[in-house]
């Protein structure tokens, strides 16, 4: 273990940064777009998980932008799987480590395409066989790496290249798949949702997921400036609005039961969430079709607030209006 050097007497942030033992499972220098929510999300997950992990990563943006041959941004053992089978690869690693008597934790990373749709069969099997694997879905709500195609996670009304908006259609006709309900039907010890806009909440959930024995699952909302069409500087504020509108509820479930939720003190209208994003631009037009679809989206957000009892008057440390900013400098791992 590296000894921790003593701090200088006056607190100078540059000096402090230099002496701070820093672990970041993904180093800078990768090729993600500016403001990529997924790059930030993966770094935050690994900071909380610590270095004693093995990551299995399905095909998708995260895999592509971190590993341009012969380089790698990963500082932990990492393996690339097919789109379909990351949960099966992770399960195999977990069984092998257990046979060797090792305690290294196994993480499976996938995008929403690799989780909601193409990798779902392997994921369901891994959960059902009760493997000690922590599965993280980086949910940017479309197949981004191949040029913005709709997935089972794309929200209702959103434009993608395969759910166009025009005179006939107003973006995606179908609803975002309720994956958390499907996951929770497996009765696994722990499942949760989180957002990059709430990093303290996210870190706590990663630690909780790794504390439980058996499978755990995290649905992590991760804005994609390219595919959502928002300014790359707005990644955090856009994702905060996803939570504050009720469109992306922040929840924790144990054995299929909701045990906690992030309350919303001042629900925001979905129009506010849609405004900075190209993918919802058509819903803001002054036409009956656009108004109707925007109302649908608002109704979906309201239904989430009702279903999970998200509304709260009382300010608390875990309400969506609470201060929770990105803390720079990494976590302390010996």
Ligand X SMILES: Cc1ncc(C[n+]2csc(CCOP(=O)(O)OP(=O)(O)O)c2C)c(N)n1
Distance of CA 100 to the CA centre of its chain: 31
Residue from 25, 35, 37, 111 touching ligand X (CB under 6 A): that is 111
Q: Examine residue 117 and tell whether it contacts Mg ion (CB under 5 A).
A: no
Residue 59 touches which of ligand X, Mg ion, ligand SF4, none (Cβ within 5-8 Å per kind): ligand X
- Which residues, numbered 68-97, are part of the site for ligand X (CB under 6 A)? 83-84
| Chain residues that interact with ligand SF4, rule: CB under 6 A | 32-33, 36, 38, 61, 65, 140, 144-145, 224-227
Q: Which is nearer to ligand X, 198 or 228 (CB)?
A: 228
Residue 160: phi and psi, rounded to 5, are: -140, 180
SS3 content of the chain, % helix, strand, coil (to 5): 35, 15, 45
Q: CA-to-CA distance for 305 and 245, rounded, in angstroms? A: 9
Residue 163 touches which of ligand X, Mg ion, ligand SF4, none (Cβ within 5-8 Å per kind): none
Q: At what angle do helices 37-49 and 199-211 cross, to 10 degrees?
A: 50
Residue 146 touches which of Mg ion, ligand X, ligand SF4, none (Cβ within 5-8 Å per kind): ligand X
CA nearest to 6, candidates 14, 15, 332 = 15
Q: Which is nearer to ligand SF4, 50 or 225 (CB)?
A: 225
Q: Which is nearer to ligand X, 62 or 242 (CB)?
A: 62
Residues near ligand X (CB under 6 A), total: 20
Distance of CA 125 to the CA centre of its chain: 21
Q: Which is nearer to ligand X, 78 or 143 (CB)?
A: 143
Q: Which is nearer to ligand SF4, 64 or 305 (CB)?
A: 64
Closest distance of CB 45 from ligand SF4, Å: 15
Span of 104-112, 212-220, 230-238, 250-258 interacting with ligand X by CB under 6 A: 104-112
Q: Which is nearer to ligand SF4, 115 or 170 (CB)?
A: 115
Residue from 127, 133, 144, 242 touching ligand X (CB under 6 A): that is 144
Asked if 179 contacts 151 with a C-beta cutoff of 8 angstroms, the reply is no
Q: CA-to-CA distance for 107 and 74, rounded, in angstroms? A: 13
- Residue with tokens 């504390």, as numbered in its chain: 211
Q: Which is nearer to ligand SF4, 189 or 223 (CB)?
A: 223
Q: With b meaning 16 or more CB within 10 Å and e meaning fewer, what string describes 184-215?
A: bebebbbbbbbbbbbbbbbbbbbebbbeeeeb
Q: Which is nearer to ligand X, 184 or 222 (CB)?
A: 222
Taking CB positions, which residue lies at the least distance from ligand X? 111
Residue from 37, 50, 60, 246 touching ligand X (CB under 6 A): that is 60
Q: CA-to-CA distance for 175 and 30, rounded, in angstroms? A: 33
- Which residues, numbered 190-249, are part of the site for Mg ion (CB under 5 A)? none
CA nearest to 311, candidates 219, 246, 258 = 246
Torsion from C-alpha of 130, 131, 132, 134, nearest 10 degrees: -100
DSSP 172: -
Residue 225 touches which of ligand SF4, ligand X, Mg ion, none (Cβ within 5-8 Å per kind): ligand SF4
Summarize as ranges the residues that interact with Mg ion (CB under 5 A). Answer: 111-112, 140, 144
Summarize as ranges the residues that interact with ligand X (CB under 6 A). Answer: 38, 59-62, 83-84, 110-114, 118, 138, 140, 143-146, 151
């Amino acid at each position: 273990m590296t000894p921790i050097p003593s701090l200088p007497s006056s607190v100078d942030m540059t000096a402090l940064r230099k002496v701070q033992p820093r672990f970041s499972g993904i180093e800078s220098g990768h090729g993600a777009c500016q403001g990529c929510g997924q790059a930030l999300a993966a770094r935050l997950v690994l900071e909380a998980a610590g270095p004693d992990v093995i990551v299995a990563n399905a095909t998708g943006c995260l895999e592509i932008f971190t590993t341009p041959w012969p380089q790698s941004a990963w500082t932990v053992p990492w393996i690339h799987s097919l789109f379909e089978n990351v949960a099966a690869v992770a399960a195999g690693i977990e069984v092998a480590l257990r046979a060797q008597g090792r305690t290294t934790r196994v993480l499976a990373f996938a995008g929403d395409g690799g989780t909601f749709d193409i990798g779902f069969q392997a994921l369901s099997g891994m959960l059902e066989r009760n493997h000690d694997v922590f599965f993280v879905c980086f949910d940017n709500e479309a197949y981004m790496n191949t040029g913005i195609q709709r997935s089972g996670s794309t929200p209702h009304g959103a434009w993608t290249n395969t759910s166009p908006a025009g005179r006939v259609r107003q973006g995606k006709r179908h609803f975002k798949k309720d994956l958390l309900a499907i996951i929770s039907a497996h009765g696994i010890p722990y499942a949760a949702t989180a957002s990059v806009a709430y990093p303290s909440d996210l870190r706590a959930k990663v630690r909780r997921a790794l504390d439980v024995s058996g499978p755990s699952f995290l649905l992590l909302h991760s804005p994609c400036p390219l595919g959502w069409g928002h300014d790359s500087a707005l990644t955090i504020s856009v994702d905060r609005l996803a939570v504050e509108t009720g469109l992306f509820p922040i929840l924790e479930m144990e054995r299929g039961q909701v045990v906690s939720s992030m309350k919303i003190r001042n629900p925001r209208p979905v129009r506010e969430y849609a405004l900075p994003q190209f993918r919802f631009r058509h819903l803001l037009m002054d036409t009956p079709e656009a108004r109707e679809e925007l109302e649908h989206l608002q109704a979906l957000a309201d239904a989430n607030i009702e279903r999970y009892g998200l509304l709260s008057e009382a300010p608390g440390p875990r309400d969506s209006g609470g201060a929770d900013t990105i803390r720079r400098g990494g976590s302390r791992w010996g």
